[in-house]
Amino acid sequence: MTKTAEHPDRARAFVADDARAHWHDESLWFVRQKRDRQVHSVPEWERLRELASQVKRHAISRWPDYLEEFEKNATALGAKVHWAADAEEHNRIVLGILRDAGVKKITKSKSMLTEEVHLNPYLIKHGIDVTDTDLGERIVQLREETPSHIVLPAIHLKREDVSETFHDKIGTESGNADPAYLTEAARQHLREKFLGAEASITGVNFLVAETGGFVVCTNEGNADLGTSLPRLHIACTGIEKLVPRAADLAIYLRLLARSATGQPITTYTSHFHGPRPGGELHIVLVDNGRSDLANDPQFRDVLNCIRCGACMNTCPVYRRSGGHSYAATVPGPIGSVLNPLHALTPRIVRESEQGEGVEPREGEAGDAHGSLPFACSLCGSCTDVCPVKIPLHHQLLALRKTVGDRGLLPWGKRIGMKAAGKLLNSPKLFGVAGRLARKALPVLPRAAIYNRLNPWGVGRDLPPAPPKSFKQMWRDELKQEASSPGDPK
Amino acid sequence: MRVGLFIPCYIDQFYPRVGAAAVRVLRRFGGPDLHLEYPEGQVCCGQPMANAGLPHESQPLAETNLKALSGFDAVVCPSGSCTSMVRNHYAPFLEGHPGYEELQAKTYEFCEFLTDVLKVGSPAGRFPHKIGLHNGCHGLRELRLGSGSERNVAPFDKVRSLLTNLEGLTFAEPERPDECCGFGGTFAVQEEAVSVMMGKDKVADYRQAGTEALVSPDMSCLMHLEGVLRRGGDQTTRVLHVAEVLEEATREP
């Protein structure tokens, strides 16, 4: 029933292509370095992070008030605000709006929320032609893949891969991997889609309670192009995007692009206040587990996330194992917190209300992402890089306990750790076991030490065994030395 | 001052020389008032079980250590990771236990104790090698032994400051000075493929920077990196705990 081997297996496959894994690592490290340079150009960086974290915490602590304020102000501006409790309701609402308007063809700018709720397959199943307009998103859409990074969706692909995909799907020259040529081809291809679209869906970076407006940040201007022609605009957003005041944007807009790509600001930062003249604007506010998280003091801060992706760029595991190894909408450190929580929280909440032993609901097994909190060396770089101060590596550690408490750890690990705990808690037993190991290691044949039962030894040697333990050394020599004459006690 | 030595379980069994070096350095720098003891009732800090998702299994170890390590003016541990376990992660096990808060406040990582408590500054001595200094992640980001490359704060490095005045010592400057080496405790086994790749990359980064001796305040990182080095055919690069460097460099001739 448990699938905790998932991430290590996928990661091993990625690592096996050494050249590609290193290329991936270096591409993202390059972004991390760009980010560092930008960060050091802002002397008040750490203060901004603190403010960003506090404002989000405050907003979340008063969600009902601020969400109502947002709805009131957005409605006054002429937008129609919809509420969706979960993914299914969100998708139904969006399809309903499109059907009411008789729309068959839409463009969609980047939105991790619509990835989270699997909007594309849902709309396509219901006869809607959906085109992702972010270049990276479009590339993975043409390849029928999922994004491997939340800001750089096609970071796992080399330009040769893109060239091949474009040749197959949009008829570019075979073997031509010139970036300028490929970008121009994509531009022409997308222009047709923009011109033919009857509606546009965008994500949202920030909702502002005070004004009822919202902000969409892109580097390609595709959200602006998408919303310019058709009269119908649907903005899909998680409720955690809410900030109280327009002035708060000054904090987040300084942090977002610097953390994401090492730019001082996104190329396009568009503010939407109500529909365009003669147009329609719908805003779909999605909960999908977020209010459960807001009620969980241990994991609440994860809702601070502004989806900059900095934790992925800095994560030594993500860089070397690739986004797809996480098999999740949001990969990397933040995804390793969000996905298991998303799977586990509804059941934990029901249990706290109804007592233990609640039957899992369909799709709520909670084990599909059980290996993600362990896909982490707990180095803590994600925590220090995070512009909104989510204590990511501590949340990952806490989640390991949650996974352990729910009996989702492999049997061998549970038994092994129980035994290790007993052994390690007895100085006597530990001393005996250590002595045996130190005596055995130097005389055992290599095959007895380095085999498939010893994952340590696949790529590393064991340390040479010394004749004495520290405890023996202490008794035999160090104790006398520590209190020798010259040590005037 | 009565100082209790907290020796990590793997140092006890596999790197006793590190514990011995720590004893000698503490004696040398602590002066006549420093009385060093090794409480034999101590056990592993409990990190392996906690990090594996089974912190209930760590609870008895935390309790054993509280008993063994109580009553000292300071507890000193030559490992950032184990120190962080006691300081930052014992609360769920020991909150409310008499003596816990004292243990939490008085447990120091070895370098931190030298710089912050004994105030040794940058001692004189001789160590004529180009060293690659690897500050373990837990020392760096959980104990703040250094400023770290992610944050925009005034730069500092308590470990490096201890070594800067040693005659003949130069620092190799790797391209990614504080990237994780890939050990990560149970991570090294559970995610063996990524862990080994991280270790190899780290070793390569130190090698291109001209490292002659690989030095760290965390022997667990070094166990992993040494394993990678030796498996890769390098039998000569020295791999040393900071305590060993200080011991060798400041030894009376």
Assign residue A203 the CATH number of its domain: 3.40.50.10420
Q: What is the mean pLDDT of residues A27-32?
A: 98
Nearest residue in chain B measured CA to CA from A482: B36
Quick one: tokens of A179? 């970036």
Q: Do B54 and A418 touch (CB under 8 A)?
A: yes
Tens of pLDDT, residue by residue over A256-271, are 999 999 999 999 999 9
Rounded distance between C-alpha atoms, residue A266 and residue B123, angstroms: 49
Nearest CB to B61: which of A29, A425, A434? Answer: A425
Question: How distant, in Å, are the alpha carbons of A30, B184, B204 from that of B132?
Answer: 22, 20, 11
Per the structure block, which two tokens stand in for A59? 């907003």
- High-pLDDT (> 70) share of chain A, %: 94
Q: Averaged over B27-45, what is the pLDDT?
A: 96
For all residues of chain A together, what is the average pLDDT?
93
Q: Which residues of B touch A482 (CB under 8 A)?
A: 23, 27, 36-37
Domain assignment present for residue A471? The answer is yes
| A22 in any annotated domain | yes
Structure tokens at B76: 């000193």
Instruction: With beta carbons under 8 A apart, name residues in chain B contacting A465.
Output: 14
Residues 192 to 251 of A: which have CB under 8 A from any B CB? none
Looking at the structure, do residues A36 and A173 belong to the same domain, yes or no? yes
Q: Which residues of B touch A487 (CB under 8 A)?
A: 27, 32, 35
Nearest Cβ partner for B180 among A381, A418, A468: A381
Dihedral sign for Cα atoms in the order A190, A195, A198, A203: positive
Range A281-303 average pLDDT: 95
Quote the pLDDT of residue A241.
98
- Provide the domain limits for residue A468: 423-483
Residue A315 lies in a domain: no
DSSP 8-state class, residue B140: I
Task: Provide, as residue numbers in chain B, all residues whose Cβ is less than 8 Å from the Cβ of A430.
Answer: 9, 43-44
Does the pLDDT value for residue A4 go beyond 70? no
Residue A366 pLDDT > 90: no
Contact B23 A481 (CB under 8 A): yes
A285 in Cβ contact with A237 (< 8 Å): yes
Amino acid at B14: F
* Residue B121 in tokens: 């500054």
Asked if A335 reaches chain B (Cβ–Cβ under 8 Å), the answer is no
In a domain, A329, yes or no: no
pLDDT recorded at residue A348: 67
**Do A285 and A432 belong to one domain?**
no
| Short-list B164, B140, B135, CA closest to B150 | B140
Q: Are A199 and A235 in contact (CB under 8 A)?
A: no
Query: Between B16, B17, B231, which is nearest A460 by CB?
Result: B231
Tokens of A358: 């609640």
Query: Given this model, what pLDDT does residue B100 score?
Result: 98
Nearest to A105 by CA among A192, A7, A6: A192
Nearby residues of B74 by Cβ (< 8 Å), 6 or more positions away: B1, B2, B3, B4, B106, B107, B108, B113, B117
Percent of chain A exceeding pLDDT 90 equals 85
Distance CA A450, CA A459 (A): 10
Contacts of A232 (CB under 8 A, 6+ apart): A97, A98, A101, A103, A198, A199, A200, A279, A280, A282
Q: Is the pLDDT of residue A361 over 90?
A: no
pLDDT digits (tens, 9 = 90+) for B54-109: 999 999 999 999 999 999 999 999 999 999 999 999 999 999 999 999 999 999 99
The amino acid at B26: L
Q: Is there a contact between B51 and A316 if contact means CB atoms under 8 Å apart?
A: no
Residues in chain A within 8 Å Cβ distance of B38: 470-471, 474, 478-479
Last residue of a domain, one of A276, A295, A314: A295
The pLDDT value given to residue A487: 46
Tell me how far apart the alpha carbons of residues A351 and B160 are, in angstroms, rounded to a whole number: 50
- Within a domain: A394: no
Most A CBs within 10 A among B79, B195, B196, hence the mutation to make, goes to B195
Residue A456: closest CA among chain B residues belongs to which residue?
Answer: B189
Residue of B89, B197, B200, B202 for testing the chain A interface, max A β-carbons within 10 Å: B197
CA A284, A287, A288: angle at the middle one, nearest 5? 115
Confidence grade of residue A486 (pLDDT, cut at 50, 70, 90) = low
HEC per residue, chain A? CCCCCHHHHHHHHHHHCHHHHHHHHHHHHHHHHHHHHHHCCCCCHHHHHHHHHHHHHHHHHCHHHHHHHHHHHHHHCCCEEEEECCHHHHHHHHHHHHHHCCCCEEEECCCHHHHHCCHHHHHHHCCCEEEECCHHHHHHHHCCCCCCCCCCCCCCCCHHHHHHHHHHHHCCCCCCCCHHHHHHHHHHHHHHHHHHCCEEEECCCEEECCCCEEEEEECCCHHHHHHHCCCEEEEEEEHHHEECCHHHHHHHHHHHHHHHHCCCCCCEEEEECCCCCCCEEEEEEECCCHHHHHCCCCCHHHHHCCCCCHHHHHCHHHHHHCHHHHCCCCCHHHHHHHHHHHHHHHHHHHHHHHCCCCCCCCCCCCCCCCCHHHCCCCCCHHHHHCCCCCCHHHHHHHHHHHHHHCCCCCHHHHHHHHHHHHHHCCHHHHHHHHHHHHHHHHHCCHHHHCCCCCHHHHCCCCCCCCCCCHHHHHHHHHHHHHCCCCCCC
Identify which of B17, B182, B193 has the shortest CB distance to residue A466: B17
Q: Please give the pLDDT value at position A358.
A: 65
Q: Which of A153-157, A214-218, A348-352 has the lowest mean pLDDT?
A: A348-352
Give the number of domains in chain A.
2
Other CB atoms within a 10 A radius of the CB of residue A445 amount to 7
* Candidates A45, A379, A420; nearest CB to B49: A420
Is A320–B194 a contact, with Cβ atoms under 8 angstroms apart?
Answer: yes
Q: Measured between CB atoms, does A317 come within 8 Å of chain B?
A: yes
Q: Are A465 and B14 in contact (CB under 8 A)?
A: yes
For chain B, the 3-state helix, strand and coil shares in percent, each to the nearest 5, are 50, 15, 40
Per-residue pLDDT tens for A368-402? 788 999 999 999 999 999 999 999 999 999 999 98
Contact (CB<8Å) A379/B184: yes
Residue-averaged pLDDT of chain B: 97
With beta carbons less than 8 A apart as the criterion, state whether A198 and A279 touch: no
Question: Could you tell me the two tokens for A200?
Answer: 């546009």
| Contact with chain B for residue A462, Cβ under 8 A | yes
Instruction: Summarize the confidence of residues A419-425 as an average pLDDT.
Output: 93
Contact B199 A460 (CB under 8 A): yes
A residues 417..446 contacting B (CB < 8 A): 417-418, 420-421, 424-427, 430, 434, 437-438
* Helix/strand/coil for B132: strand
Closest CA to A316 of B146, B149, B147, B207: B149
Tell me, what's the ipTM? Answer: 0.97
pLDDT of residue A453: 85
Residue A352 lies in a domain: no
Q: Which of A273, A295, A317 is the last residue of a domain?
A: A295
Which of A295, A322, A346 delimits the end of a domain?
A295
pLDDT of the residue at A45: 98
pLDDT value of residue A356: 65
What pLDDT is attached to residue B188?
Answer: 97
- In this prediction, residues A145-167 reach a mean pLDDT of 97
Q: Check if A11 contacts B (Cβ < 8 Å).
A: yes
Query: Is A34 within 8 Å of chain B by CB?
Result: no
pLDDT value of position A412? 86
pLDDT of residue A341: 87
User: Stretch B175-191: mean pLDDT, rounded?
Assistant: 97
Chain B residues within 8 A of A466 when measuring between CB atoms = 14-17
Over range B229-242, report the average pLDDT: 97
* A-chain residue closest to B3, CA distance: A482
360-419 in A: which are within 8 Å (CB) of B? 373-381, 383-385, 397, 400-401, 403-404, 409, 413-414, 417-418
Q: Are strands A280-286 and B125-126 parallel, antiparallel or unpaired?
A: unpaired
> Out of B52, B60, B183, whose CB is closest to A417?
B52
Q: Is A264 an 8 Å CB contact of chain B?
A: no
Taking residue A153's Cβ as centre, other Cβ atoms within 10 Å add up to: 25
Q: How many CB pairs under 8 A join A and B?
A: 235
pLDDT category of residue A342 using cuts at 50, 70 and 90: confident
Evaluated on CA atoms B94, B99, B102, B108, the torsion sign reads: negative
Span between the terminal Cα atoms of chain A, in Å = 62
Tell me if A74 is assigned to some domain: yes
Query: Which residues in A lie closer than 8 A to residue B233 (C-beta atoms)?
Result: none
Among chain B residues, CA nearest to A394: B89
- Is residue A148 a part of any domain in this protein? yes
B24, B182, B228: residue with CB nearest A316: B182
Which amino acid is it at A469? Answer: S
User: Least CB-CB distance to A425: which of B60, B180, B224?
Assistant: B60
Tell me: do A432 and A286 sit in the same domain.
no
Q: Which residues of A touch B46 (CB under 8 A)?
A: 421, 424
Instruction: Return the amino acid letter for B136.
Output: G
Residue A1: band (very low, low, confident or very high) from pLDDT cuts 50, 70, 90: very low
Residue A363 predicted with pLDDT over 80: no
Pairing verdict, β A213-218 and A268-272: antiparallel
pLDDT of residue A409: 86
**What residues contact A135, with CB distance under 8 A and at least 6 apart?**
A154, A183, A186, A190, A220, A222
d(C-alpha A275, C-alpha B196), whole Å: 54
Segment A67-112, tens digit of pLDDT: 999 999 999 999 999 999 999 999 999 999 999 999 999 999 999 9
A167: number of Cβ within 10 Å: 17
pLDDT tier at A347, thresholds 50, 70, 90: low
